[in-house]
Each structure stands twice: as C-alpha cells, then as structure tokens.
Amino acid sequence: MKKKSILLVILLCFVTLILAQEPVKIIFWHNMSNPVDRKSIEEIVQIFNQKNPNIEVEAILVPATGTDATRLMTAIAGGTGPDAYYLDRFTVAQRAYYNQLEPLDKYLEENGIDVELLKSKYVDFAINECIWDNTLYALPWDTDARVLFYNKKLFREAGLDPEKPPVTIEELDEYAEKLTKKAGNRYLQIGFVPWVGEGWPYTWGWTFGREFYDYENQKLIFAEDENIKESFEWQKMYADKYGIKEMEAFFSAFGMSFTGSSVGSAAPIDPFLNGQLAMKVDGNWLLAQIEQGLAPAGFEYGMAPIPYPEEVGKSTTWAGGWSIVIPKGAKHPKEAAKFIYYMATEGQIKYAEDAAHLPTWKEAIPVFVEAYPKQRLFADLLSTAKNRPPLPVGALLWDELVDARNYVLYGEKDVETALLDAQNKVQQELNKMLIR
C-alpha cells in the first residue's frame, strides 16, 4: 500500500514536471517563399528548437512585399500578431515610429546579452537601419549589393573587349550606343537603360556622388543638389535619345513597362538574361538566378562596379536586406528575443552557406566568400555600401523619388520641379513626425 502511494507521488511529480516544462511557443512569420531560402530558414529553426528544449519556434510562411505589411498591421491591431516577424530593414524606423514594434534591446538584455558588443558585430549600415530614436528595434538578417552586369558575347559581337567593362559614365554611354541594334523602328537589342533592374533614383544619386538626407539637420536635401539633378538629367537623356515609344515597345514584349517595373503581377522575362539587353545594374541575387539555370546554356556574363562620373572618381553601391523584429503585443517577447539573437548570429552563417545571401554578421562574411567565390565582389563592396536613410517616411520617399523620375522621363515635369515637389511632400510628412 505504502509503495503504491509513493509510486503515485513520484508519478504526480513527473506529470507536474512535464507540464511545467511545456515549451513556450513562439510564432515566427517570414515571407521567403523561394524553396532554397525557405528550407534553410526552417532548418535553422529546427536547430534552435533542439538547442532550446524550453522554447518551440514555429516558422510560418506569410506572403507580404517589402512595404506592404497588411497582415501584420491587422494582426497587431487585433492583438493576434506573431512573436517574431521578418521585416524589410529600411521600414524598421517607420514601423517603430508607428508603435508597431517592441524594443528589442530591452529583451536582449533580459537574456543577458551585451547589446553594445552585439551591435559592433554587424556591418555598420545594417545595424544603423535597425535603430530608431536610440532604441534597437531589430537585428539585421541578410543584405545585398548592386553592380553592373554585362553580356560578354554581345560585347565581342560589338567589337568591345569583354574583359574591359565600362568604368565611367562617359564610357557607359559610349558602349551603350555601340551595343544597340535597330531594325527600322524596332529595337532588336539595347545596350543599356539606366532605370532597368536596380537603377533606382537612389542608385544614380549616390553614384553621382551625393546624399539625399542631411542627418544632422534632419532635412531632405536632394532637390537642391546639383549632382543629383544631373543624375536625373542624365537619365532623361536616355529617354530622349532612345525614344520612349520605341523603348516602350521593346520592353513591353518582356512583360515590363519601359520604366523597368513589371506590368501587372506576372514576373517579367529578363531581357538581360535573354541576351537582348547588353548591360544592366542589378543585385547579387541575379547571380543566384543565373546559377539556378534561369539563363540560357552558355550564357557569358561579367560583373563590374557601377560606372561613375569621371569627376566623382570612385564607384559606389547601396545595400538593402531584411531584419527580424518583435511585433507589438507579442506574447513571449523574451523568448522571441533569444530566438532572434540566434537567427541573426549563428543562423546567418548557415543561411549564407545554404541560400547564397550576403550576411550582415561580420563573422559570417568569410564563410560566405569561401562558399561562393564569385560573390567576392559584392562582399568587398559592403564596407563602403550606402543605405537608404532609416526614416519613418522611407516607403513614401522611395515612391516619391520613383514618381519624380517617371515625371521627368515622360517629360511631364522638369527635373527641378519634380525633385522639389517630391522633397516638399516628404519633408512635410517627416516634420509632423519629428515634432512629436
């Protein structure tokens, strides 16, 4: 009888122990639907779960684009948000300003992590994008970089040396002309179009050597900058020289608009990979796409830093990427912070190896370069890469710059007015936020 009761007590203890050890469940929303990226993320989550038996992370694929986070917004407003969320890094400031994120530094400290030391282990621009109002709201995940891609075969056909890509803007214009073929009114091949691919207003503004935002005075300054105006004039020159109508016809056949944006939601066919656009500015992910077989067999391409104006004297590029945050109202922020810490440190090494994404954690970069020697150029650019100003009006500023460029290209506004209109509109929004 006694034995039995002792057994019962032991059993009870066991049950309570198991119940007490019920792991904390963390919901992690991400949007990497590409099978390679997704698999890697799920494996990292698995490893974390094995190492931390008291936490169970569940990764859920939730489609969203960079600036459109409708699901997250409604989930936060309704109090049903996830514990960790995969967020486009340049929108961290915006989300933080609108009170949609939990301060991450506080919860990292609760886990006994030295935040200042941690910050120093990331590439500067990446960690800077995660900070708003002196508070850390995110840890950086991957990044990217932009360079000039060119088709070596088309270079040879045009009598250009395939090992000598253009270095300056002047050379670029000259090569572009040589690489363009026309039959009657119809382009068979175009050498270069500045705004296709990753040739955004930011790309050329920085390439022409200037900044868009004055951090000290908290003012947007691009509309008064002669060099940035010149970068727009230079793009306008392409529209005039090659003809909007003719370029529109050329690009629409690939399912994209002449301004380079895809028409509709069907993914456009890449005229560069198709061998009909000889050069374009694009990101390192294009390399992964070529390796994955999106280019025809025997596709010969080269990569070079983005050409720059002679008087600027050096090439520049910019980087974006993703981050992981804790949305407002998360049920287990402390455990979520532990998970995010793991993802953004050790997890990055595995992700860089698996998915060929550029890491932001400094320790992961050598591992990445070793695994993908071809990406060395991009990794080298990271130390000098620019980043979009981390402002709560980031998405609006981006859209306004693109709209301003389109006004200029279509000849609806001159450069001066287009830039000034955009700057005034965004500054007005920004001022509202700075006052608070």
DSSP conformation class of 306: P
In 284-387, DSSP assigns E strands to 301-304, 321-325, 358-359
- Any contact of residue 431 with another protein (CB under 8 A)? no
Neighbours of 290 (CB within 10 A): 17
**Which member of 21, 134, 217, 265 binds another protein (CB under 8 A)?**
265
**Which member of 32, 75, 76, 104 binds another protein (CB under 8 A)?**
76
Helix pair 415-435, 394-409: axis angle to 10 deg = 170
**Which member of 253, 290, 303, 420 binds another protein (CB under 8 A)?**
253
Applying CB under 8 A, the span of 153-161, 168-176, 358-366, 391-399 interacting with another protein comes to 391-399
Applying CB under 8 A, the span of 105-113, 163-171, 195-203, 255-263 interacting with another protein comes to 255-263
CB 126 within 8 A of CB 360: yes
* CA-CA-CA-CA torsion sign (62, 65, 71, 73): positive
- Any contact of residue 410 with another protein (CB under 8 A)? yes
Site string for another protein, 283-322 (x = CB under 8 A): ----------------------------------------
Q: In whole angstroms, what is the distance from residue 27 CA to residue 58 CA?
A: 5
CB of 266 to another protein, least distance (A): 6
Write out the two tokens for 346.
Answer: 């050790």
- Those residues with Cβ within 8 angstroms of residue 293's Cβ, 6 or more apart along the chain or in another chain: none
- Any contact of residue 188 with another protein (CB under 8 A)? no
Q: In whole angstroms, what is the distance from residue 399 CA to residue 430 CA?
A: 15
The site for another protein, by CB under 8 A, has a size of 35
How would DSSP label each residue in 64-122?
A: --SS--HHHHHHHHTT---SEEEEEGGGHHHHHHTT-B--HHHHHHHTT--HHHHHTTB
Applying CB under 8 A, the span of 64-72, 144-152, 208-216, 299-307 interacting with another protein comes to 64-72
**Which member of 68, 133, 233, 370 binds another protein (CB under 8 A)?**
68
CB of 415 to another protein, least distance (A): 16
- Any contact of residue 203 with another protein (CB under 8 A)? no
Applying CB under 8 A, the span of 82-90, 296-304, 361-369, 402-410 interacting with another protein comes to 402-410
CB 272 within 8 A of CB 280: yes
**Which member of 77, 237, 294, 371 binds another protein (CB under 8 A)?**
77
DSSP conformation class of 344: I
Counting Cα atoms < 13 Å in the Cβ hemisphere of 103 gives 10
**Which member of 52, 128, 257, 289 binds another protein (CB under 8 A)?**
257
- Any contact of residue 70 with another protein (CB under 8 A)? yes
In 333-411, DSSP assigns E strands to 358-359
Residues 150-179 that bind another protein (CB under 8 A): none
- Those residues with Cβ within 8 angstroms of residue 212's Cβ, 6 or more apart along the chain or in another chain: 202, 205, 220, 221, 222, 228, 389, 397, 401
Q: Which helix (H) or strand (E) holds 47?
A: helix 35-51
Site string for another protein, 117-136 (x = CB under 8 A): --------------------
- Any contact of residue 420 with another protein (CB under 8 A)? no
Applying CB under 8 A, the span of 113-121, 156-164, 262-270, 349-357 interacting with another protein comes to 262-270
Write out the two tokens for 156.
Answer: 């040879």
List residues near another protein by CB under 8 A.
67-70, 73, 76-77, 94, 98-100, 248-249, 251-253, 255, 257-259, 261-266, 328, 395-396, 399, 403, 406, 410, 412, 432
